[in-house]
């Protein structure tokens, strides 16, 4: 059994609208620049450093009782990152099914750089 949960983009959208969420996007920089969910922190899968990610998030108010949401383009890289992150923290890790594509298709705020 995996140590992370998977939720739909619709459920993520509800949680996103309800308050502050801690969100990382594990795609590469050009993909991220092309469009990412507003507020996402870029953490490319190939450079994933759980200690640095957690330190960066803690500086933004992330605590051990908070949930860390993980996105990629469609879901596969996010699952790999979630497996890795679960070994580094006791925080709840949640993968958004369908990734950025699904979030964009339901009208979530997307930022382009």
Domains of the chain: 5-111 (3.40.250.10)
Tokens of 26: 């594990």
List the beta bridge partners of residue 71. 25
| Residue 111 half-sphere exposure toward CB, CA atoms < 13 A | 8
29, 42 Cβ separation under 8 angstroms: yes
| pLDDT value of residue 113 | 84
Question: pTM for this one?
Answer: 0.93
Along the 113 residues of the chain, how does pLDDT read in single tens digits?
459 999 999 999 999 999 879 999 999 999 999 999 999 999 999 999 998 998 988 898 898 789 999 999 998 999 999 999 999 888 899 999 999 999 999 999 999 98
Chain length of the chain: 113
Number of alpha helices (DSSP H) and beta strands (DSSP E) in the chain: 5, 7
| Distance separating alpha carbons of residues 51 and 109, to the nearest angstrom | 28
pLDDT at 2: 57
């Amino acid at each position: 059994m995996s140590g992370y949960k998977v939720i739909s983009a619709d459920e993520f959208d509800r949680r996103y609208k309800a308050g502050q969420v801690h969100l990382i996007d594990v795609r590469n920089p050009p993909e991220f620049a092309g469009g990412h969910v507003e507020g996402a922190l870029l953490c490319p899968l190939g450079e994933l450093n759980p200690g640095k990610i957690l330190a960066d998030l803690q500086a933004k108010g992330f605590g051990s009782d908070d949930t860390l949401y993980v996105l990629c383009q469609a879901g596969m890289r996010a699952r790999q990152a979630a497996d890795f992150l679960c070994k580094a923290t006791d925080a709840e890790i949640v993968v958004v099914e369908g990734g950025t594509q699904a979030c964009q298709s339901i009208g979530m705020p997307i930022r382009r750089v």
